[in-house]
Amino acid sequence: MNINEIPFIYIKKAKDKISKYDYEKAILLYSLAINICPYQNEIYWLRGVAKTKLNKHKEALEDFKKYKELDEKTNIFEILKSEVSEKKKELENKRILKIFQSCFEKLNYKEKFIFKYRLIPGKYKTLKEIGILLNLSTQRIWQIENVALKKFRSVAKKLILEDSLYQILKSKDLEEK
């Protein structure tokens, strides 16, 4: 799943809640989408409609005003600002992926196999299923999984700390220039 898809997932879930007359949860989901995409004026409109259904007219009016304000403000500056923000998110995702890959490389074959089938959505298998594939007991699979997680966390902490220090030093170098 791409990070840019997350607000649309919230919107889809909110629309589902609206169809079930659960306006409170719909408002919460729209708010989550707004936190991720504050310049997406349509989300304010949808949240305003949901607030109207709950007779929260003052709050709904604020959302409708924000919708109109964003609609009028949509200019090249806002679009460029949004694109810069997206590039920053993309770079951050690449850094996280690089750390994840480095952690994954530190695992042995069995740990990688178990990690892949126990923790990655869409490929999930039970301890018993993995035990059959590797000819090991479910208890042993569980033990290997825990060792792999500890190893992964330990490497991740170290790499995140190193990355954070690198980013701090990099920003200080830029400040000095």
Q: Report whether 130 contacts 117 (CB < 8 A).
A: yes
Q: Report whether 151 contacts 106 (CB < 8 A).
A: yes
Pick from 20-24, 55-59, 117-121, 130-134: least confident: 117-121
Nearest to 48 by CA among 33, 30, 36: 30
pLDDT of residue 23: 92
pLDDT more than 70, % of the chain: 82
Q: At residue 76, does pLDDT exceed 70?
A: no
If you ran DSSP here, which 8-state letter would residue 5 be given? G
Average pLDDT, stretch 1-20? 78
Pick from 37-51, 76-90, 123-137, 152-166: least confident: 76-90
pLDDT of residue 48: 92
- With b for 16 or more beta-carbon neighbours within 10 A and e for fewer, the 21-34 pattern comes to eebeebbbbbebbb
Rounded-to-integer distance, Cα 52 and Cα 63, Å: 10
Nearest to 163 by CA among 101, 105, 108: 101
Phi then psi dihedrals of residue 39, to 5 deg: -100, 5
pLDDT of residue 25: 93
Q: Report whether 67 contacts 44 (CB < 8 A).
A: yes
Confidence tier at 22 by pLDDT (50, 70, 90): very high
If you ran DSSP here, which 8-state letter would residue 75 be given? S
Query: What is the tens place of the pLDDT at every residue in 134-177?
Result: 899 999 999 998 888 888 888 878 777 777 776 676 666 555 55
User: Cα–Cα distances in Å, from 129 out to 102, 115, 118, 132, 165?
Assistant: 27, 13, 10, 5, 42
Q: How many CB atoms lie within 10 A of CB 170?
A: 10
Q: SS3 letters for 107-168?
A: CCHHHHHHHHHHHCCCCCCCHHHHHHHHCCCHHHHHHHHHHHHHHHHHHHHHHHHHHHHHHH
Q: At residue 133, does pLDDT exceed 60?
A: yes
Mean predicted lDDT score pLDDT of the chain: 80
**What is the value of pTM for the model shown?**
0.43
Rounded-to-integer distance, Cα 20 and Cα 13, Å: 11
Structural domains in the chain, CATH included, are 3-74 (1.25.40.10), 93-176 (1.10.10.10)
